[in-house]
Chains A and B, each alone.
Chain A
């Protein structure tokens, strides 16, 4: 028993001091196209689900004498080709219209014009929240451009379910702000 601090009581003590992250403690703070916010707060509050993307180091195989070692290779950002945000669709479909416009700005089939350049100030800012609704940490995705203005699924026989739609973005990389140890806020107990 001696040195392993993983008993039920240990778990209870840690849970008291460190709590757990909840799935709802996450918000999309901003989506910007060339430095200008695409969605206002009334639209972002309709965002329902998104994923905080991860990073992956490739594990390069090194076979030797009947055994396979693995050494760390290069890094990639998960789902950098399709970072998706699910929205409730408002009655005027304004969020979806803004995505349509951004897609049109990126490539217009009507005029064969568009914007093929990466913009470092096209970003998505994500925030993890604490129990007091304060920002624990932010992640900013850089070099964002739209890839999907998702379908709106209507059903004339439906009882009134809310329509949702998916906005999809590609990005290059993300950077993290506010390391947890540097934050001073009302829930210092969690951060200590």
Chain B
């Protein structure tokens, strides 16, 4: 019968390395693969030629053809159930309390730290989208940002969307957290949900030249949101 490292370590009274190895033996505590995730959000119905035209900013109003792009990107293969497949990068917000200390010049006491306030930054969310022949950044996000700018982003809820990031993990362990309904799919290990999101920044294209070797073009989209939560899916 083979002797496993963990058993050896336990026989020797246990060890730091052996304990860590045992963590790697369990699905719940082994390391996740960071590039397994999907992003889900709905493109608001207001992202349309009809609404865009009312901005009156361009002599080409009515010719932008946002509707064609919106219909394309609302297709089930690109968005909805399986996530927005063109989103290939995420950078979620931090959670911080601002802290400070009382200096040691106060009555000669040792310095102490104290909390000042929660530094909640509701603009600290970005996603990255790859460019396709029809550009999601140019035909969805840039018009969306223009509409948000015009409407202020407060009362006009028709421009808001909830954005969900599902972090996935391989698992064949039955009942390990939440599964998609069909078998053979990865597990969901955590879910970030950002509520009432509005895009506010579309990254610059950068200089493209004839000398460039073709490669995937990625565009960062920054979002602001009202609140967020993180869920551990139920077993």
B180 on the A face (CB < 8 A): no
Indicate if the CB atoms of B35 and A74 lie closer than 8 Å.
Answer: yes
Indicate if the CB atoms of A65 and B30 lie closer than 8 Å.
Answer: no
Chain B interface main SS type: helix
Minimal Cβ-Cβ distance residue in B for A65: B16
In the complex, what's the smallest C-beta–C-beta distance from B72 to chain A, in angstroms?
A: 15
Indicate if the CB atoms of A65 and B20 lie closer than 8 Å.
Answer: yes
A108 to B21 alpha-carbon distance, docked (Å): 55
- Given A62-B24, A69-B21, 12 new contacts (CB under 8 A): A60-B31, A62-B31, A64-B16, A64-B17, A64-B20, A65-B17, A67-B17, A69-B24, A71-B31, A73-B33, A74-B33, A74-B35
9 contacts between A and B (CB under 8 A): A62-B24, A64-B16, A64-B20, A65-B16, A65-B20, A69-B24, A71-B24, A73-B33, A74-B33
Minimal Cβ-Cβ distance residue in B for A60: B31
Chain A to chain B: the 4 pairs with minimum beta-carbon distance, closest first: A64-B20, A65-B16, A67-B17, A71-B31
A67 to B19 alpha-carbon distance, docked (Å): 13
A74 to B36 alpha-carbon distance, docked (Å): 10
The chain B residues found within 8 Å of chain A, CB to CB, are 16-17, 20-21, 24, 30-31, 33, 35
Minimal Cβ-Cβ distance residue in B for A69: B24
A87 to B30 alpha-carbon distance, docked (Å): 47
Indicate if the CB atoms of B35 and A69 lie closer than 8 Å.
Answer: no
A65 to B33 alpha-carbon distance, docked (Å): 21
In the complex, what's the smallest C-beta–C-beta distance from A108 to chain B, in angstroms?
A: 16
Which residues of A41-96 are within 8 A (CB) of B? 60, 62, 64-65, 67, 69, 71, 73-74
In the complex, what's the smallest C-beta–C-beta distance from A76 to chain B, in angstroms?
A: 13
In the complex, what's the smallest C-beta–C-beta distance from B148 to chain A, in angstroms?
A: 33
A60 to B32 alpha-carbon distance, docked (Å): 11
Chain B residues near A62 (CB-CB < 8 A):
24, 31
Chain A residues near B21 (CB-CB < 8 A):
69
Minimal Cβ-Cβ distance residue in A for B5: A69
A58 to B17 alpha-carbon distance, docked (Å): 22
In the complex, what's the smallest C-beta–C-beta distance from A83 to chain B, in angstroms?
A: 20
In the complex, what's the smallest C-beta–C-beta distance from B174 to chain A, in angstroms?
A: 20
Indicate if the CB atoms of A71 and B30 lie closer than 8 Å.
Answer: yes
Chain A residues near B30 (CB-CB < 8 A):
71
A71 to B17 alpha-carbon distance, docked (Å): 15
In the complex, what's the smallest C-beta–C-beta distance from A53 to chain B, in angstroms?
A: 22
A100 to B159 alpha-carbon distance, docked (Å): 51
Minimal Cβ-Cβ distance residue in B for A70: B24
In the complex, what's the smallest C-beta–C-beta distance from B216 to chain A, in angstroms?
A: 13
Chain A residues near B35 (CB-CB < 8 A):
74
Chain B residues near A64 (CB-CB < 8 A):
16-17, 20
Chain A residues near B16 (CB-CB < 8 A):
64-65
Minimal Cβ-Cβ distance residue in B for A67: B17
Minimal Cβ-Cβ distance residue in B for A116: B133
In the complex, what's the smallest C-beta–C-beta distance from B233 to chain A, in angstroms?
A: 22
In the complex, what's the smallest C-beta–C-beta distance from B12 to chain A, in angstroms?
A: 15
A60 to B33 alpha-carbon distance, docked (Å): 9
In the complex, what's the smallest C-beta–C-beta distance from B167 to chain A, in angstroms?
A: 15
In the complex, what's the smallest C-beta–C-beta distance from B4 to chain A, in angstroms?
A: 14
Chain B residues near A73 (CB-CB < 8 A):
33
Chain B residues near A67 (CB-CB < 8 A):
17
Minimal Cβ-Cβ distance residue in A for B36: A74
Chain A residues near B31 (CB-CB < 8 A):
60, 62, 71
